[in-house]
Amino acid sequence: MFDNVWLIPLFPLIGFLINGFFGKKIKNEAVIGGIGTLMIFMSFIVSCGILMQMIGLPPEQRVFEKVLFPWIHSGNFKADMAFLVDPLSAVMIMVVTGVGSLIHLYSIGYMHGEEGFYRFFAYLNLFCMSMLLLVLGNNMLVMFIGWEGVGLCSYLLIGYYFHKKSAGDAAKKAFVMNRVGDFGFLIGLFTLYWWFGSNHNIWTINFTEIKAASHLLPYGGVVTVATLCFFVGATGKSAQIPLFTWLPDAMEGPTPVSALIHAATMVTAGVYMIGRMSFVFIKSPDTMMVVAVIGAATAIFAATIGTAQNDIKRVLAYSTVSQLGFMFLAMGVGAFWAGIFHLMTHAFFKACMFLGSGSVIHSMHHALHKGHLHDDAQDMRNMGGLRKVMPITFITFFVSTLAIAGIFPFSGFFSKDEILWKAFSNPYHGSLNIILWGTGAIAACFTAFYMFRLVFMTFFGECRINSKVKEYLHESPLTITIPLMVLGVLATFGGFLGMPKVMGALPNYLEHWLDPVFELATEYGAKYAHAGGHESHALEWGLMGLSITIAVVGIMIALTLYVKNTGAPAKFVATFPALHRAVYNKWYVDELYDFIFVNPCKAFGQFLWKGFDVVVVDGVVNGVANVVMGFSGIFRYMQSGYIYNYAFSMVLGVVVILGYYIFK
């Protein structure tokens, strides 16, 4: 089965080619959607086969590499089109193909009747292929094809409604910000490659080879430079400070895209990349600290913005940024498996919520369309009371919200609690631990608050939509609700895969599973880890209780403000108008970037063109030409053709020469 790993990205590629070339002629939505869904589902089956085979092997044999064909070989540099199957990539392919299949299925219903239906499925398949290349690549360059490939698909899908200027802007912004990250990725790659090559004559970008040689890497120094560069790449792809502003704008894309790309898979690529290179990252204590701090800061920063948004998808977008921050916090405190665990549970509950919001928008849109109204179908202020008309959507959304808020025993509880516990008890960051934990805990409180704010505004209370169209609201069709139910189940029970040891009810499957991948990193980390740590069971139980309490507090605040005392938010806004405006406008980060980078760049470009190119360089060029023309214009008069002119100049010459000799 391992040998067939290349089939996994191949199926979606076939789907892309069929729908891309012939989709327009096929026209039949069932066929197009069926092909797209079937292809990714086939990948899912192959992935299951690989997982099964891997489970049957002893842990140390769970690594397999498959070289398809040589790609770029030049001088010392070698990069093959090759795949790496290990426990980490196995988890990732399961998530990508599993959640991917559900979202494809969902899209058949959601995108029904859209112009360019085939285009959507072609792009979606292309995205899956790129994402699978990203997680399966056995060297940094194959990973980079996937890395940029998902960026491309993200661009294409955000810009799906390309006639809207906002969609075009958002697509471009996403790609360019990702490119800033890619710049970091490339420099990191160069640095590592060059260091190994020039110091140890190991010219490689292959993960297994780097892992084998990673004992040669120093602690800090060049590793800090390289890993920080890689981390810049991760901040771009995974929407962390400072490169996070593209993700909320990316909500311009159709909702299944937001679910698949901008929640479940692509944006987690940065987390995956750090996991893949954990044995390099851990060698730089400084980078680890930066990762943890940026993660925690993003978690809380995005959570604050999420509290004031009214667009249902934007709330979820900031929530994604914030949850990704939690994952980076996990990576930064050396709890790599916990980061991957949260990546997985987040894929379940966030995909479920995005698809649920899509179900709501779909229904709202339909109703507004029928009533010939032009209200915003995504604005939560127009919603309310939807739990009665959309019970399946509501229930699945509600359990996912419990999961993200961290309520026991939903999946998010286990993963988030593990991260907070490791932030508190990890042996790497000393006194910073308490700050990391505190920030994470407050962010978790905000999370519970804004998520329940969303649930209350959308599903509870009275329906605020125009009464004319109320009766048009309805539950979505089965293609939409089936994926919701599957994801809802996963969001509920997915956490049992990684139950903490203190509970002891189930073994921690996921941690054991990922052990072979991360044990080397732990070994390296032990070199500078300070002894002791707070490994007390009582403390772990205590913190667990505390984090549930925090979540409940967040929920209670939301309940008070948005169900019981609904006038309070407006009063709050009236009391602190400046604060509300700042939060609502995302702390003006976009404006800041425009001011610092975008506008100066444009102005500088204008100056270089109109000022330097045209005036200076061409000024010199044309100046030389004009001087030559000027002189020739003067000299021209000397060749007048009149005898008396020549005679006069002869006489003048004689006079001058004679004068010279006479007065010498």
Partner 1 sequence: MSNVLSLTTFLPILGVLLLLFIPKDSKSVLRNVTLAVTLVNFLISLTILSGFQTNAEFQFIENMPWIAAGPFVMRYNIGIDGISLWLVILTTFIMPIAVLSTYTAVEEKVKEYMICLLLLETGMLGAFISLDLFLFYIFWEVMLIPMYFMIGIWGGKNKIYAAVKFFIYTMVGSLLMLVALIFLYFKGMEAGITDFGLLQFFSLKLDMATQIWLFLAFAFAFAIKVPMFPLHTWLPDAHTEAPTAGSVILAAVLLKMGTYGYVRFAMPLFPDAAHKFAPMIATLAVIGIIYAALVAMVQEDVKKLVAYSSVAHLGFVMLGVFAFNTEGITGGMLQMLNHGISTGALFLIVGFIYERRHTRLITDFGGLSKQMPVFATIFMIVTFSSIGLPGTNGFVGEFLILIGAFESQLRWWTVVATSGVILSAVYMLWVFQRVMFGELDNPKNQKLLDLNAREIAIMVPLIVMIFVMGLYPKPFIDKMEPAINKLVSQMRVAPVNAQVIPVGLPAGHPAMEAPAAGPTMMPAGHPAVAPSSDVNTEKTVNPHEAK
Q: How far apart are CA 63 and CA 53, in angstroms?
A: 11
DSSP class of 452: H
Our CB check for partner 1 shows the closer of 171 and 480 to be 171
Rounded to 10 degrees, the C-alpha dihedral 339/307/445/553 comes to: -150
Q: How far apart are CA 140 and CA 206, in angstroms?
A: 7
Contacts 24+ apart (CB under 8 A), 140-144: 140/189, 140/205, 140/207, 141/71, 141/72, 141/79, 141/189, 141/205, 142/71, 142/79, 142/80, 142/81, 142/82, 142/83, 143/273, 143/276, 144/182, 144/185, 144/186, 144/189
Name the minimum Å distance from CB 238 to partner 1. 18
Summarize as ranges the residues that interact with partner 1 (CB under 8 A).
Answer: 69-77, 141, 144-145, 147-149, 152, 155, 159, 162-165, 167-169, 171-172, 175-176, 179-180, 182-183, 186-187, 189-191, 193-194, 197-198, 601-602, 604-606, 608-609, 613, 617-618, 621, 625
Q: How far apart are CA 246 and CA 32, in angstroms?
A: 30
Residues facing 70 on adjacent strands: 80
Give the torsion sign (CA, 578, 582, 585, 589).
positive
Name the minimum Å distance from CB 408 to partner 1. 44
Name the minimum Å distance from CB 241 to partner 1. 18
Our CB check for partner 1 shows the closer of 196 and 348 to be 196
User: Quick one: 623 exposed, middle or buried, by C-beta within 10 A (0-12, 13-18, 19+)?
Assistant: exposed
Can you count the helices (H) and strands (E) in the chain? Answer: 28, 2
Name the minimum Å distance from CB 516 to partner 1. 29
Our CB check for partner 1 shows the closer of 167 and 490 to be 167
User: Quick one: 145 exposed, middle or buried, by C-beta within 10 A (0-12, 13-18, 19+)?
Assistant: middle
Our CB check for partner 1 shows the closer of 519 and 613 to be 613
Name the minimum Å distance from CB 254 to partner 1. 16
Look at residues 114, 128, 103 and name the one whose alpha carbon lies nearest to residue 27: 114
Give the HSE-up count for residue 237: Cα atoms under 13 Å, Cβ half-sphere. Answer: 35
Our CB check for partner 1 shows the closer of 165 and 372 to be 165
Counting every residue written for the chain, the total comes to 664
> Which parts of 460-593 fold into alpha helices (H)?
478-493, 509-525, 537-559, 568-575, 577-584, 589-593
Our CB check for partner 1 shows the closer of 81 and 108 to be 81
Residues facing 84 on adjacent strands: 65
Name the minimum Å distance from CB 430 to partner 1. 33
Our CB check for partner 1 shows the closer of 80 and 511 to be 80
Q: How far apart are CA 166 and CA 646, in angstroms?
A: 75
Q: How far apart are CA 89 and CA 94, in angstroms?
A: 8
Name the minimum Å distance from CB 139 to partner 1. 12
Q: How far apart are CA 470 and CA 459, in angstroms?
A: 14
Our CB check for partner 1 shows the closer of 501 and 610 to be 610
Look at residues 128, 249, 268, 273 and name the one whose alpha carbon lies nearest to residue 192: 273
Our CB check for partner 1 shows the closer of 194 and 541 to be 194
Query: In what helix (H) or strand (E) does residue 210 lie, and over which residues does it extend?
Result: helix 207-213
Our CB check for partner 1 shows the closer of 160 and 349 to be 160
Our CB check for partner 1 shows the closer of 225 and 455 to be 225
